[in-house]
Structure 1
């Protein structure tokens, strides 16, 4: 299998039309390839993802996995290309090394949904250190950011196949953004970017996907007050947001949005 190490490839594809026409077209296609995460010599997970900004991804992934508490717990991150994809080798500070050893010792399976290595259902309810702050953005700001969303999706503009996660100030200024074929991966890249270059002004995160439990969980780790998604939420996502006090807005479109949880009465 030939694996591209760029985020997109130009391919020639067949094209059919409703009037019976047949032909060929060149199109940019989003790259998806395996990325192996190795932590202190342990093979921890293999993620199918877009192979760019792997340092940001690894940092965010380890944060949302609760394997580290901050970017300074990482001594070294070394991504390198392999024949079948990428390998990211990570060295952790001594004070957190016991976490990876314990997780690997008890793990039963891997998933790509942000719940890697858990050995039982009781472990899904993982602790959240701090309750999120009250969001400060206005409804008008949210609609303005939605209206400008495409400007922050350059890879999706080329391929039409990737998700985005965007962190904004209360006034809607975009502080950081990330794209990936996997919605979880895009959010982990954003969480990692915020941790590696802290943005105290980050008020809310917008994701171009449905909102599931793990997306809420990652937003809680990012420390923002509000998560906005352009698709629908799941029941567990709403429950998780309500348990921990995260403001949650879903089905966010240019003309309307659904307030799934508003503990501070900001959008009442």
Structure 2
């Protein structure tokens, strides 16, 4: 299976017996991202749907405004991982250089002063799009998510991010060992295929961290639904940007942030 490889294990049972088995394991490997020839980041990810990942990563990093800003994406196998080479239009080079400068500063020490704190919590745009999805649609999407997680069904070790229509139908989904990567892959797939939210929402099989809220807002997502709970900063950032947030979404109940569904 793409994104997994079989490995040997010894299955130990409660009754004291054991047997040798082979099981699919989710691949987690370094993906070195180069943007216009500059080393930008190294992410631990599942090496599948990497073109989608490239587009979504660039959108989340605010390096591009739309999929059309990407000229080319190439993947190259390396000894210990994958090199993802992204080429952007010349008009976006200054953004890349600026972010690279910040990243160098951020990696130099753990406490780099107020400039980096401001960079970490950059202002978010105010959302204009709205979702018409009712709670029944969210429950429907939750029920259907498992069918869109083949890699997790095989390995039990990856997250999923799904684009859901307003009625709860899952349109597309992407998987990765990292919840952030899965969402980037989904956002990137939407950008590549010209798909919009169209009154729908995003469903993530993860806790709701502030980074996921920021990715949702930058992607114009009007409603973010996560299976696990949100952090305080995630709730705060969502409220600032006008993002509807539903967390701890389970088959029998869910929590709408701010007390409104």
Q: TM-score, normalised by structure 1?
A: 0.90
- SS of equivalent to 1:19: coil
Cα offsets for 1:19-77 (capped at 9, x unmatched): 22122111111011110000111110001110011010011001000111111111111
Structure 2 unpaired stretches of 5+: 108-113
Equivalent residue number for residue 235 of structure 1: 232
3-state SS in 1 of match to 2:252: coil
Q: What residue is the counterpart of 1:153 in the other structure? A: 149
- Once the two structures are superposed, the pairs formed by residues 1-268 of structure 1 within 5 Å of their partners are 6-107=2-103, 108-109=105-106, 120-200=116-196, 201=198, 203-261=200-258, 265=260, 267=261
Q: Is residue 163–residue 180 contact of structure 1 (8 Å, CA) maintained in 2?
A: yes
> 2-side partners of 1:224 and 1:122: how far apart?
23
Q: Decide whether the 8 Å contact of 1:132 with 1:220 is kept in 2.
A: no
SS at match of 1:227: strand
- Partner SS for 1:120: helix
Q: Offset at 1:129?
A: 3.5
Residue aligning to 2:111: none
SS of the residue aligned with 1:238? helix
Structure 1 residue 6 displacement after superposition: 4.1
Match of 1:113 in 2: none
Shift of 1:170: 0.5
After TM superposition, the structure 1 stretch with the greater mean CA deviation from structure 2, 232-241 or 94-103, is 94-103
Deviation (angstroms), 1:119: 6.3
What SS does the corresponding residue of 1:150 show, helix, strand or coil? helix
What's the offset of the Cα at 1:169?
1.1
* Number of equivalent positions: 253
Cα RMSD for the two superposed structures: 1.7
Shift of 1:135: 1.4
